[in-house]
Amino acid sequence: MYKVVIIDDEPIIVEGISRMISWDQYDCAVVATAYDGNEGAEVIRHFKPSIVITDIAMPDMDGLTMIAGLKSEFANMEISILTGYRKFEYARQAINLGVTRFLLKPSSMEELEEAIKTMVNNLKSNNILPDSDENAGIQEARLDSEANNFIVINAMKYIEQNYAHKITLSEVAEKTYVSQWHLSKLLNRNLGQNFSEILNNIRIREAIKLLQDPSLRIGNISEKVGFVDLAHFSRVFKKKMGISANEYRNTFAESFNNKKS
């Protein structure tokens, strides 16, 4: 049987879909349900289903990011959205990210069954067998897909917004609905840098801006851009820039004075 996971914050919808569909006629079985995005992501990572039916407008959930995360990490997974969210642009983006069907609530049983039939046919067309652990790894050919690009862009936005705080790869992965391993692979493949390099580059870039203000002490600048201690900041800065932060500041000041004169 193809494994199915259903995610919706309305229990009556989850129960209805689980019980009213004759899953066995489609070679399918519902292996788990969830009632919010975070729980859904955990369930999916545990069961590795072939088919997911999910809402995208649930509390504490970025629906498009979750969809992108699933399609990025589990390339062959078939996903259909069942939602009351009617914005056309949202539906267009979801389809671009690889969603099979975008169904509006309330949907008829005929619409649901057509979506299920289509997802099963897609799996069979891709030679995905029932009960196979086909989602264990991403296919190399899909590493530049729309979903992967979406995840990288969102990860970079999150890092840019939070570089000044203590931030980990695990945290960014959670926000983009993918595993740490997968996010690390995407960043390396798309940007040619690992997470630590990306974070340090952003922090040093911002430190360079702050160094132009002579009223700020270098220790304070180090803290402002997210380094835990000055020694670490100094090592990273010199490795990237070739000179110390203090030497850089003096060089900038000298250049600025020469321009004035």
Evaluate whether 149 touches 96 at the Cβ level (below 8 Å).
no
Structural domains of the chain sorted by starting position, each given as residue range(s) with its CATH number in brackets: 2-138 (3.40.50.2300), 146-260 (1.10.10.60)
pLDDT tens-place string over residues 179-206: 999 999 999 999 999 999 999 999 999 9
Evaluate whether 65 touches 176 at the Cβ level (below 8 Å).
yes
How far apart CA 58 and CA 173 sit, in angstroms, is 19
- Give the CA radius of gyration of the chain: 24
pLDDT tens-place string over residues 106-144: 889 999 999 999 999 999 998 988 876 554 444 443 555
Q: What is the pLDDT of residue 187?
A: 96
Evaluate whether 211 touches 248 at the Cβ level (below 8 Å).
yes
